[in-house]
Amino acid sequence: MIREAAYYRALHRGFGGGAEAEDWCAAEREIDVMLGKLTG
């Protein structure tokens, strides 16, 4: 899940280099929030 979310973040910004770690961390946070809402 995180890999796909990070990919779409990179796609949205045009795959410009240098922000891979930011994309990954942001994707982790998004997934954590989504899973937290599902589990209550």
7-21 per-position pLDDT tens digit: 999 999 999 889 999
How many structural domains are present in the chain? 1
d(CA 36, CA 14): 29
Write down how long the chain is.
Answer: 40
> Taking the model in full, what pTM does it have?
0.82
Q: Is the pLDDT of residue 39 over 90?
A: no
Token couple for 7: 């990919």
Token couple for 35: 């899973």
Question: Rg (Cα) of the chain, in Å, rounded?
Answer: 11
Domain that holds residue 14: 2-39
Looking at residue 38, what is its pLDDT?
84
